[in-house]
Amino acid sequence: MGTLDKPNALRLITLFSGAVKGMAFYPASHPAIRQPLVELYKIMTTALSQEEQISWGLVDNIMFFEDHLFIAPSAAIADLTSQMTEKEISRIVVSSSASFEELETFVKLFSIKNANFDVLSRQMAEAEVACFTLVRLGDESFNQADDEPENDETDTCVETYNRALSVIKTICRDIERGRIPNSSPMIKVVDEMVEITMHDPSAMLGLTMIKDYDNYTFNHCINVGVLSMALGSALGLDAITVRDLGIAGQLHDIGKTMIPKDILNKPGKYSSAEFDEMKRHPELGSKIIREMDGLSPHISSIVLGHHLHYNRSGYPEWANKLPFDQLVDIIAIADTYDAITTLRVYQHPVNPKTALSEMQKMTNTILDGAIVERFIEMMGNYPVGTLVRLDNNEVAIVYRPNPLDENAPMVRILFDGDGVRLRAPREQVLNNPDGSCYSRIVAVVDPLLKNIDIGKLFASGQH
């Protein structure tokens, strides 16, 4: 595991997909095929120099290479995913003794239209392609092997989220007591979150549904950090930049610790003077961050600008001519999404699906339209944490987006068709690999009507 970094793993998958597609139009000796195959073989042998075998394939309709998941698929990945599904293949395994000729033969056989798992396996045996092995879609040995790591990952995400929550509470407490906070614990937990997010951008998204009214500021800070890192990863930003997003997201509202509590917690509308005081929090937060050891000036700049708006009509007004990069706009999008999906004294929360529609109305004024569109693609038509009703009357929660079909996300059934709450949620794929459909989403359900606390569901790992 870990034989290739994510860019090289993506390159390998892309080259394989392109070679398969091209083989349908050109002979193997053509430069359009030969050159990608040579590069593919070079990357493949580099990976196999450290491992006995490597593999790539599908889990929950998401392409992976070893421990790398590609949540937001390119056209090449989407094309390969479709082909593997049609051929009933869940995984391709390559052993270290694979030759270039064997790779070339395998790609040629794989490119044959309408060759399902059984046909392709027989053709591989006849051509003596022994170093490539196929795993059939739905093979229990493969699914079972992946079940335990998924549970472990869920536990890890919850533990990491809770540690981040504890750290931000300590930072706020230190500020209120006039101390300069220690940044080391936060940097450590953000590094853990970066590792999770770069592996799987959607892994922690469900935890952003934790909306503790009594600890709103703390949860909001962590949620903005998680959402910002996920969006940064989906945009293809590197791990160091995603790390900056995580730190800036968790600290974006840190200046509110310096705002009088009677203003901060006021249930009604602010007076002009009160709003002016509240608008000071980006500057106050930026100043606090500059005094903290181990944090770059870039973090301070992001926090300063997170309320400036895309058209720079926000605050602080004096800063609207300063140079800010796109990280400011990423934080603003994460901040907006978490805020409008949260219950406040003065605001009824909207469901995640509606929140995305509301955000589209803010594009190119308050929010960067291009990044909002990428955020919507990442979240899917039914974002993680959305409670939905299926056409068989079952009620389910969305726990992972489906990059191949935004209208058929991965769900876990909570209530059966008669409205009875299941003892344990049941994982369900809405669209089956053979093209059949288990059920379709017909409506979004208000969690309050079902007495469901979405946040607690994700926090407990029972979603």
Task: Give the pLDDT band (50/70/90) at residue 149.
Answer: very low
Q: Over the chain, what is the mean pLDDT?
A: 87
User: Considering the chain, what percentage of its residues have pLDDT values greater than 90?
Assistant: 52
Sketch the domain layout of the chain as residue ranges. 6-138, 144-379, 387-459
CA gap 308, 316 in Å, rounded: 7
- C-alpha span between 350 and 343 (Å, rounded): 8
What confidence tens digit (pLDDT) does each residue in 339-351 have?
998 866 555 678 8
Asked whether the beta carbons of 225 and 249 are under 8 A apart, the reply is yes
* Non-local CB neighbours of 60 within 8 Å, separated by 6+ positions: 400, 402, 410, 429
Secondary structure class of 331 (helix, strand, coil): helix
Domain 144-379: state its class: mainly alpha
Q: What is the pLDDT of residues 26-80, one digit of tens each?
A: 777 777 788 889 999 999 999 888 888 899 998 777 888 887 777 666 788 888 9
| Cβ neighbours for 247, distance < 8 A, ≥ 6 positions apart | 186, 187, 190, 225, 295, 299
Looking only at Cα atoms, what is the longest distance across the chain?
Answer: 81
CA-wise closest residue to 444 among 409, 380, 378, 397: 397
| Residue 153 pLDDT level (bands cut at 50, 70, 90) | low
Over residues 97-102, mean pLDDT: 90
Q: What angle do CA 206, 157, 382 make, to 5 degrees?
A: 15
Do you find a cis peptide bond into 316, omega within 30 degrees of 0? yes
The two three-digit tokens of residue 320, written as one number: 């609207």
Question: What is the reported pTM?
Answer: 0.70
Q: Residue 386: which of 450, 429, 445 has the closest Cα?
A: 445
Helix axes 352-360 and 369-379, enclosed angle (nearest 10): 160
Q: What is the pLDDT of residue 333?
A: 98
* 433 confidence band (pLDDT: 50, 70, 90): low
What is the torsional sign of CA 154, 403, 382, 349?
Answer: positive
Range in 17-21, 25-29, 290-294, 435-439 the model is least confident about: 25-29
Tell me: pLDDT of 148 over 50.
no
Q: Which amino acid is at 54?
A: I
